[in-house]
């Protein structure tokens, strides 16, 4: 294989790899409209836990070869979900959010697999709440619309038990609940150790998204929305959409790294429990030209149909939109040039 072809394949590989999204601890994706009265954001909470037994032992004997998967879908009619909604609303009130949850759909997935010197547990909860009362003030000729932003940090502490027709009572918010139900003998051996304390950490926790100030988020105005796209925001004409994003390493946000916790405990043998979570990520899209607004030390989104003063030619971090589009176009042109050049060189080599 020629070097030019290898280079081309490598370049394409880099482009593809660069487009793959990593798995984050807490993920938020939301589309807010100043013309609608409710929003249905998607929160995803993910965590991987390793129970390591390098010296073997009783837990090793119990977990090696174990493969258990629990998958549940639930809504407001599922026993326990109404109580979860109440906890969510209580938390929203405690973080000074005006938002109120009226409905909720969720999925829960937990999978434990033991092999070799450890067992891995992957678990994930996806919440799609229906939220109201996020619009505090509509836009007028002199003021931008004011939108609550604190709801992005929704968190629920402690066990959250729902009742599923197939699996019965399931605690979807802590790993101890899963272990106690699916591998009770393992749970009994971890009970009372430092490992149990780590496994009691709550999964539904977006506080890290709230703790990152909106002024550190990247935001970009997109004036290219089509009518079919903007209909999702309650409009019948084209409009500007602003996207706020967080979760990438930058000078503003700092270096985003995995969060690891590890504890050792000893019963018949020494064991290690380690939890791994990647950095949080979020994307919030809102109609209009949107900026972050601070009122009495509280953060809000301010949405205006007009370009805010000082933002006519800039997007995230004061970076010119024209420069961003120019860089994107230049990158595309370079990629096309390399591919065309490589193709011609390859044909020339074949003709020799």
- pLDDT tens string, the chain, 352 residues long: the values are 454 444 444 444 434 333 333 344 799 999 999 988 999 999 999 999 999 999 999 999 999 999 999 999 999 999 999 999 999 999 999 999 999 999 999 999 999 999 889 999 999 999 999 999 999 999 888 889 999 999 999 999 999 999 999 999 999 999 999 999 999 999 999 999 999 999 999 999 999 999 999 999 998 887 665 444 555 655 556 678 899 998 765 555 556 667 889 999 999 999 999 998 888 999 999 988 999 999 988 999 999 887 766 654 444 444 444 444 454 555 555 555 555 555 565 555 555 4
Q: How far apart are CA 349 and CA 2, in angstroms?
A: 9
The pLDDT of residue 235: 57
- 50, 175, 190, 349 from 113: Cα distances, Å: 10, 14, 17, 51
The answer to whether 246 and 280 have CB atoms below 8 angstroms apart is yes
The pLDDT of residue 17: 34
What is the pTM assigned to this prediction? 0.79
The pLDDT of residue 140: 87
Residues in CB range of 234: below 8 A, 6 or more apart: 33, 35, 36
- Token pair of 169, please? 């009572």
Please, what sign has the CA dihedral across residues 144, 145, 146, 151?
A: negative
Residue 334, judged by CB atoms within 10 A of its CB (0-12, 13-18, 19+), counts as exposed
Q: How far apart are CA 345 and CA 262, in angstroms?
A: 54
The answer to whether 49 and 120 have CB atoms below 8 angstroms apart is yes
| SS3 assignment for 179-240 | HHHHCHHHHHHHCCCHHHHHHCCCCCECHHHHHCCHHHCEEEEECCCCHHHHHHHCCCCCCC
The pLDDT of residue 313: 43
Q: What angle do CA 265, 266, 270 make, to 5 degrees?
A: 95
């Amino acid at each position: 294989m020629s070097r030019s072809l290898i280079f081309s394949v490598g370049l394409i590989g880099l482009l593809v790899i660069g487009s793959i999204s990593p798995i984050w601890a807490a993920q938020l994706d939301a589309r807010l409209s100043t013309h609608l009265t409710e929003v249905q954001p998607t929160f995803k909470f993910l965590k991987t836990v390793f129970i390591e037994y390098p010296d073997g032992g009783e837990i090793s004997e119990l977990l090696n070869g174990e493969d258990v998967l629990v998958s549940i879908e639930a809504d407001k009619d599922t026993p326990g979900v109404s109580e979860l909604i109440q906890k969510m609303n209580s938390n929203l009130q405690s973080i000074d959010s005006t938002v109120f949850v009226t409905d909720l759909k969720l999925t829960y997935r937990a999978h434990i697999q033991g092999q070799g010197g450890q067992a891995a547990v992957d678990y994930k909860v996806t919440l799609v709440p229906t939220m109201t009362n996020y619009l505090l003030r509509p836009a007028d000729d002199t003021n931008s619309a004011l939108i609550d932003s604190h709801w992005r940090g929704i968190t629920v502490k402690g066990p959250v038990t729902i009742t599923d027709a197939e699996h019965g009572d399931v605690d979807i918010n802590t790993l101890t609940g899963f272990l106690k139900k699916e591998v009770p003998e393992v749970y009994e051996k971890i009970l009372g150790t430092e490992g149990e304390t780590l496994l009691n950490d709550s999964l539904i926790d977006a506080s890290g998204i709230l703790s990152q100030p909106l002024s550190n988020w990247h935001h970009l105005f997109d004036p290219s929305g089509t009518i079919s796209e903007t209909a999702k925001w309650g409009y019948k004409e084209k409009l500007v959409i602003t996207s706020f994003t967080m979760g990438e390493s930058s000078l503003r946000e700092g270096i985003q790294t995995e969060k690891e916790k590890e504890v050792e405990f000893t019963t018949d043998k020494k064991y290690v429990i380690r939890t791994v979570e990647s950095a949080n990520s979020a994307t919030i899209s809102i109609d209009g030209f949107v900026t972050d607004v601070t009122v009495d030390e509280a953060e809000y989104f301010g949405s205006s149909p007009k370009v805010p003063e000082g933002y006519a030619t800039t997007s995230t971090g004061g970076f010119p939109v024209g420069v961003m589009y120019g860089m994107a176009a230049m990158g595309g042109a370079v990629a096309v040039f390399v591919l065309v050049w490589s193709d011609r060189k390859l044909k020339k080599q074949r003709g020799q």
